[in-house]
């Protein structure tokens, strides 16, 4: 009986279908031979399996750290990034004047205060943190400072991708949501990063998603004046 159980295990493992007559003819020597063959088949199968693993069998799934790293390395713009952006602290930023001597809608960007003020007929109606161009950008080996002076919005694009950055052409183009172009390719637009009170863009004026969305849909029009005030000496 033990022999039959062992034989049945060997036959089942090796994938052979044995008839009743074949089972009756099984001898101890044939069992040992079959066991040896089965072990070799198992070893060969394991070796073959290791050589034929498909990439899809090892693909990272949603929720895995590897999957998240892969997605984050390719994605410059995401809803999650925008949600984080909305919660950023404005501590340490200067305050904009409550009034200015201007009529109509005017956007004032103060690079020293790291703030943007939206004025309607001289009254401050909204204030937002901003980040201007960095004093030095290592990827292009020169200054990226934002232009200062008096400008007007000449173009608006709700979804825009940079044609210049990143400089590595194989990387995805940088997303510039709610772009308000005021001087050539320079624009006020949303960022997925935190506004940290330092200037770190390639020259554009970055602000929060909520602020850029409000400016784009409710305040700025083609021709709206944009005043960009100079950097502080310490910037």
Q: Residue 120: which CATH number?
A: 2.40.440.10
Distance in angstroms (rounded) separating the CA atoms of residues 88 and 197? 11
Express each pLDDT in 190-231 by its tens digit. 988 788 888 988 899 999 999 999 999 999 999 999 999 999
Q: What is the DSSP string of 171-185?
A: SPPPB-TTEEEEETT
Domain assignment of residue 8, yes or no = yes
Q: Are residues 120 and 43 in the same domain?
A: no
Q: Please check whether residues 51 and 103 belong to one and the same domain.
A: no
Q: DSSP letters of 13-66?
A: HHT----HHHHHT--HHHHHHHHHHHHHHHHHHHHHHHHT--GGGG---TTSHH
pLDDT 10s digits, 141-153: 999 999 999 999 9
For CA atoms 154, 158, 162, 166, the dihedral sign is positive
Asked whether residue 37 is domain-assigned, the answer is yes
For residues 150 and 224, membership in a common domain is answered with yes
Does residue 97 sit in the same domain as residue 27? no
Find the domain containing 207 and state its range. 90-229
The pLDDT tens digits for 69-100 are 333 333 333 343 444 443 333 334 679 999 99
Please count the structural domains in the chain. Answer: 2
Per the domain annotation, does 225 fall within a domain? yes
What pTM, to 2 d.p., does this model score? 0.59
Residues 142 and 198 in one domain: yes
Q: Are 116 and 97 in contact (CB under 8 A)?
A: no
Residue 1 pLDDT level (bands cut at 50, 70, 90):
very low
65 within a domain of the structure (yes/no) = no
Instruction: Answer yes or no: is 33 within a domain.
Output: yes
pLDDT at 197: 82
d(CA 26, CA 5): 12
37 and 94 belong to one structural domain: no
**How is residue 151 annotated by DSSP?**
E
């Amino acid at each position: 009986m033990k022999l039959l159980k062992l034989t049945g295990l060997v036959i089942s493992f090796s994938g052979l279908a044995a008839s009743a007559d074949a089972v009756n003819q099984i001898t101890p020597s044939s069992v040992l031979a079959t066991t040896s063959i089965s072990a070799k088949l198992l070893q060969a199968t394991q070796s073959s399996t290791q050589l034929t693993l498909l990439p899809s069998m090892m693909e990272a799934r949603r929720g895995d750290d590897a999957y998240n790293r892969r997605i984050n390395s390719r994605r410059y713009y995401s809803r999650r990034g925008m949600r984080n952006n909305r919660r950023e602290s404005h501590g340490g930023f200067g305050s904009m004047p409550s009034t200015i001597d201007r009529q109509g809608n005017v956007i004032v960007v103060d690079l020293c205060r790291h703030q943007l003020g939206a004025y309607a007929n001289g009254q401050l109606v909204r204030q937002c943190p901003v980040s201007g161009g960095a004093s030095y950008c290592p990827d292009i080996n020169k200054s990226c400072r934002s232009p200062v002076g008096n400008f007007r919005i000449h173009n608006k694009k709700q979804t825009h991708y940079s044609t210049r950055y990143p400089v590595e052409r194989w990387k995805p183009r940088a997303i510039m949501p709610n772009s308000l172009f005021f001087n050539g390719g320079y624009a006020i637009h949303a960022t997925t990063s935190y506004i940290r009170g330092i200037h770190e863009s390639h020259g554009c004026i970055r602000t929060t998603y909520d602020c850029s969305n409000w400016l784009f849909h409710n305040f700025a029009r083609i021709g709206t004046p944009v005043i960009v005030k100079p950097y502080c000496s310490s910037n």
